[in-house]
């Protein structure tokens, strides 16, 4: 056996081990979700059933937790993405000497433990509610949204900063020299350039909010999200309905990824078609300009 054969065998073993470690738990959850056993198990496989998906939909606590998680995630996106974008733009505009201090301040929530953020959010807004005499701001969904947005907006800012590093400032300067306002430059030049980063930041913000536990478990008060409900179920004993929930989440994620890839390829083909049409038009224009010159020379 040659050294190259041994290298290929070891590489194949590593690839199998890697994908087994990556997709093994997903396969286990998929099997336990359709097994008739009352406890999540792969073997022995007692029979095929879809009843656990029905049990999942009938579980009021889980459904309420999913609804609250989606609601909080949407509000976190609406709050964190603009804050992250504003923070990234300010980072590119301030003086170099203040940039390091500003970066340390805006990124510090990422380094702060989620427990501290959750507790401090509850204490601060409880005092605010007492001072203004209104309990409307002391709501679990409201506090969870604010608590999560404090550090998720920093993630969004880092995404925008990585994109802004490739932005050519001469485009903004040229637009301003031609009479455009700063608002027009933002909406017609900068924002289209940041479109991929906006989508990425929104996706990261929603997923970070949806799976967050440390901050949410303290800021949510008497309400509940999917993560807090699942944490309680794990302590009390889980059922295959949790595996059914995992299968649904994975299916929705895969469907979203496939849809995004299809739309991206369609847009890419459109851009290639427009570029090809522009090139053909340019060649036709050049050919049209050369024809009179050739006729003149022949005469």
pLDDT means per 10 residues, the chain with 299 residues, are 79 87 83 79 78 82 87 93 90 80 85 87 85 77 90 91 84 82 84 87 90 86 83 75 82 84 84 82 69 55
Here the tokens at position 46 are 């007692």
Choose among 221, 213, 77: nearest CA to 139: 221
44 prior amide bond cis, ω within 30: yes
Nearest to 155 by CA among 78, 210, 81, 73: 81
**pLDDT value of position 252:** 84
What pLDDT is recorded for position 75? 94
Contacts of 136 (CB under 8 A, 6+ apart): 129
Degrees to nearest 5, angle at CA 32 with 28 and 33: 115
Evaluate whether 225 touches 64 at the Cβ level (below 8 Å). no
Instruction: Indicate the pTM of the whole model.
Output: 0.78
> So what's the pLDDT on residue 82?
93
pLDDT of residue 297: 57
Contact 176, 185 (CB under 8 A): yes
Sign, Cα dihedral of 109, 113, 118, 121: negative
SS3 content of the chain, % helix, strand, coil (to 5): 85, 0, 15
Neighbours of 255 (CB within 10 A): 10
Q: Under 8 Å CB-to-CB from 23, ≥6 apart: which residues?
A: none
Rounded distance between C-alpha atoms, residue 299 and residue 290, angstroms: 14
Contact 202, 77 (CB under 8 A): yes
Do 97 and 206 form a contact (C-beta atoms < 8 A)? Answer: no
**Residue 190 in contact with residue 180, Cβ under 8 Å?**
no
- The topology under which CATH files domain 62-240 is MetI-like fold (1.10.3720)
Bridge partners (DSSP) listed for residue 35:
48
pLDDT of residue 299: 56
* ∠ CA 252-239-33, rounded to 5°: 45
Domain residue ranges of the chain, discontinuous segments joined by +: 62-240
The pLDDT of residue 149 is 92
């Amino acid at each position: 056996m040659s050294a190259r054969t041994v290298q290929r065998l070891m590489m194949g073993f590593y690839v199998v081990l890697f994908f087994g470690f990556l997709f093994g738990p997903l396969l286990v959850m998929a099997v336990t979700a359709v097994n008739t056993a009352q406890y999540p198990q792969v073997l022995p496989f007692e029979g095929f059933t879809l009843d656990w998906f029905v049990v999942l939909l009938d579980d009021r606590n889980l459904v309420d937790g999913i609804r609250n998680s989606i609601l909080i995630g949407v509000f976190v996106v609406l709050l964190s993405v603009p804050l992250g974008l504003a923070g990234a733009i300010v980072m590119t505009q301030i003086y170099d000497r203040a940039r390091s201090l500003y970066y340390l301040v805006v990124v510090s929530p990422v380094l702060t433990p989620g427990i501290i953020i959750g507790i401090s959010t509850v204490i601060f807004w409880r005092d605010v509610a007492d001072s203004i005499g209104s309990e409307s701001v002391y709501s679990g969904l409201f506090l969870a949204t604010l608590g999560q947005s404090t550090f998720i907006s920093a993630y969004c800012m880092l995404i925008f900063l990585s994109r802004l590093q490739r932005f050519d400032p001469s485009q903004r300067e040229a637009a301003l020299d031609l009479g455009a306002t700063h608002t027009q430059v933002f909406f017609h030049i900068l924002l289209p350039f940041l479109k991929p980063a906006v989508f990425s930041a929104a996706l990261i913000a929603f997923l970070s909010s949806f799976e967050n536990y440390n901050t949410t478990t303290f800021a949510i008060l008497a309400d509940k999200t999917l993560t807090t409900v699942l944490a309680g179920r794990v302590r009390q004993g889980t059922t295959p309905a949790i595996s059914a929930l995992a299968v649904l989440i994975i299916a929705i994620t895969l469907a979203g990824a496939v849809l995004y890839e299809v739309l991206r390829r369609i847009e890419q083909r459109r851009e290639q078609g427009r570029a090809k049409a522009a090139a053909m038009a340019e060649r036709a224009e050049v050919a049209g300009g050369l024809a009179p010159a050739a006729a003149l020379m022949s005469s």
